[in-house]
Amino acid sequence: MSDSDKPHKPSLKTLQTRPMQRNMTMTRMGVGAGMRAAGHGLGNLFRSADQREQANKAFVIREVQHFVDQLGQLKGSVMKAGQMLSLYGQYFMPPEAVEILQSLQDDTVHVDWSVVEPVVRSTLGEARLSKLHIDPQPIAAASLGQAHVAQLDGDARTLCIKIRYPGVDGAIDSDMRTIGRLLSLGQFIPEHLSPQALLDEIREMLHREVDYAHEARMTRIFRQRLADDPRFIVPELIDDYCTDALILMSFEHGESLKSQAVRTLSQTQRNALGRAFFELFCSEFFDWHLVQTDPHYGNYRIRLEDAQAPRIVLLDFGATRAFPPEFVRAYARILRGGIERDPQAVIDGACGIGLMEARFPEPVKMDFYRMICQIMEPFCADHDDVRPEMFLADGAYRWAQGDVFVEAGKLLSRAAASVHFKMPPREIIFLHRRLAGVYMLLGHLGCELDMRPQLNAALARVLEA
């Protein structure tokens, strides 16, 4: 879809952001979950081991569906937390349950202008607001805020203002405590895994995403670092109108990645876009140690202009997070080990980031090694253990046919049953979120690319510096 007018959706006239209101809603969810869990546990007393395994899987799937149905009615951190749980859920939930969690999308119903207008007025004050003219109909809505087209006196450009929903920042801590109770009652998480680290990470991420001052800082950094790369466009901020609750920036038009105009680009053009996406990821992680970890398709637009090659518009830097240099170096060892089929390098790197321990049994280590080899398939055309049909004669990978993260997920699901399984470090979760997003983007674009030189060069910059 291009940036032309979108059909209007019904708007919410009120937001349920007060902790007491939200807690009452989720308390009702919790009571129901507890009763269903008790009934399920009673039923298991009369089931065989195989029957219990199947019944437990079916129970989790039903509970996750109920969880999603309820969260879908609430804005703010609970919906966003549900989305984030899908990232972690792949490590311990049935694939069917993860798919249900992933249905909590950000393209949600918007709230009425009367709800967000007070945020703009109180944040900017009358003097600044008198110069700003905002279209009350939003152009995009998400779980934590929405965006509107705007005009500023003395500025001929079309602008975009992103506004945080009132009260969502203050509801995060209460929401996460309630979700923790629901997860325990719903028995979503295996007993040997503590959900607290998971919930702490989601809480931290949510506070970061509702801090628009943080997002503005990240936007400036990316705009500065990509200023000399003509393949990318980053919005320009209007600094006098950026606060912790709203951001005013240039409106950057472009086509959706899913639009017909992008799908019908030539193979050469789509390959060039895919190369740009991959090289951007390498720059972010290996060079800058600063990664925009949300690969949602809505965060990208493709600028199509007759006189220039297609360009990528980058939007929404709220999920940007820093990675410690020692983590980047250890992860680079893992990737190089996977490319070179060096199990010890992979295991050493995994121990270096706290994902494994040297005392783990050899089969556990080798399961992890095989998972990394699976993820590295696109960069291993010369190895005998990869699928030859995935590569063209020149070594280019057929990204549209790639399913390496799906296959790796199957290995993870089996590994999660082990008593040696550890919840991956928070950095891994969000890094793999973005890396999987890059793979999916290249697949969506139907790229046929050999990206080994780019990845090997990035690894060398880290490991041979």
Are residue 149 and residue 236 in the same domain, yes or no? yes
pLDDT of amino acid 5 = 39
Is the pLDDT at 3 greater than 50? The verdict is no
Highest mean pLDDT (candidates 77-86, 190-199, 319-328, 347-356): 319-328
pLDDT of amino acid 201 = 74
pLDDT of amino acid 357 = 83
Residue 14 lies in a domain: no
Higher pLDDT, 214 or 4: 214
For 339-352, the pLDDT digits (tens) are 999 999 999 999 98
The pLDDT of 139-161, averaged and rounded, is: 92
Mean pLDDT of the chain: 82
pLDDT of amino acid 6 = 43
Helices (H), 283-361: 325-340, 343-352
pLDDT of amino acid 214 = 94
Is the pLDDT at 183 greater than 80? The verdict is no
For 190-241, the pLDDT digits (tens) are 665 566 766 787 788 888 888 999 999 999 999 999 999 999 999 999 999 9
Are residue 216 and residue 327 in the same domain, yes or no? no
Min mean pLDDT across 3-17, 154-168, 267-281, 282-296 is at: 3-17
d(CA 51, CA 100): 23
Is the pLDDT at 248 greater than 90? The verdict is yes
Are residue 382 and residue 396 in the same domain, yes or no? yes
The residue among 270, 279, 265 whose CA lies nearest residue 232 is: 279
Burial class (CB in 10 A: 0-12, 13-18, 19+), 358: exposed
Q: CB neighbours of 465 closer than 8 A, spacing ≥ 6? A: none
pLDDT of amino acid 368 = 85
Is the pLDDT at 129 greater than 50? The verdict is yes
Higher pLDDT, 221 or 58: 221
Is the pLDDT at 274 greater than 80? The verdict is yes
- Band the pLDDT of 2: cuts 50, 70, 90: very low
Are residue 156 and residue 273 in the same domain, yes or no? no
The pLDDT of 349-375, averaged and rounded, is: 86
d(CA 139, CA 177): 32
pLDDT of amino acid 306 = 77
Are residue 325 and residue 381 in the same domain, yes or no? yes
Residue 1 lies in a domain: no
Min mean pLDDT across 5-9, 14-18, 93-97, 418-422 is at: 5-9
The residue among 428, 436, 434 whose CA lies nearest residue 201 is: 428
Higher pLDDT, 356 or 198: 356
pLDDT of amino acid 415 = 54
Sign of CA dihedral 235, 262, 298, 411: negative
Higher pLDDT, 100 or 339: 339
Q: What is the dihedral of CA 319, 325, 330, 331, to 10 degrees?
A: 30
Are residue 146 and residue 269 in the same domain, yes or no? no
Residue 3 lies in a domain: no
Are residue 141 and residue 62 in the same domain, yes or no? no
Residue 360 lies in a domain: yes
Are residue 32 and residue 130 in the same domain, yes or no? no
Residue 61 lies in a domain: yes
Q: 304-315: b or e for each residue (b if 16 or more CB lie within 10 Å)?
A: beeeeebbbbbb
pLDDT of amino acid 382 = 87
Are residue 336 and residue 200 in the same domain, yes or no? no
Higher pLDDT, 425 or 460: 460
Is the pLDDT at 10 greater than 60? The verdict is no
Are residue 51 and residue 75 in the same domain, yes or no? yes
d(CA 347, CA 334): 7
Residue 430 lies in a domain: yes
pTM above 0.85, yes or no: no
Are residue 146 and residue 83 in the same domain, yes or no? no
Are residue 272 and residue 234 in the same domain, yes or no? no
Residue 38 lies in a domain: yes
Instruction: Report the greatest alpha carbon distance in the chain.
Output: 75
Residue 12 lies in a domain: no
Domain that holds residue 328: 254-465
Q: How many independent structural domains does the chain possess?
A: 3
